[in-house]
Amino acid sequence: MGAKTEWRVFAAVGTVLVAITFTNWSPEGPWNDSTFTSGSLGLTGMMLLYLAWFRLTFESKGVVPTMDMWKDPEGTSPLVIGVGLVILGIAYAVGRIDFFPGPAGLILSLVGLLVATNGVYVWLSSAGPLSREEE
């Protein structure tokens, strides 16, 4: 097998960029709006955190977790669905707390829906009605 994929740099930079969104350190940039800069940095940080998670979990470079990468899709898909629902619950709470940036709940809702949808797809394909039944 090849060398393990490096994920720590993505995680470190992503964490710093997401953390910046909770401060007033963002420059105004050419659009004269520091909140837009902060949101852009936060989205970039979320993307880097996702790439770090992907590399850590699947030990390969990529973006889409295809079914052949899962070790136990039938057993893991309910956990993934549950995590997606938990993220949606957190998004609901974050959207109602004034401490967080305005679109934080929306971004977390997007992440939660993507995670839950992926889990439902994997469950449908591995254990649900779309699975291949071997006779």
- Identify the burial level of 21 via C-beta atoms within 10 angstroms of its C-beta, where 0-12 means exposed, 13-18 middle and 19 or more buried: buried
Per-residue model confidence (pLDDT) at position 135: 43
pLDDT of amino acid 91: 92
CA dihedral 40, 46, 50, 53 (to 10 degrees): 140
Looking at residue 2, what is its pLDDT?
Answer: 53
- Dihedral, 109, 114, 120, 122 alpha carbons, nearest 10: -160
pLDDT at position 133 is 66
pTM for this predicted structure: 0.78
For residue 34, the model assigns a pLDDT of 84
Averaged over successive runs of 10 residues, the pLDDT of the chain (135 residues) comes to 80 92 81 85 91 90 86 91 96 87 82 93 89 65
Domain boundaries, the chain: 1-63, 65-135
How long a stretch of residues is the chain?
135
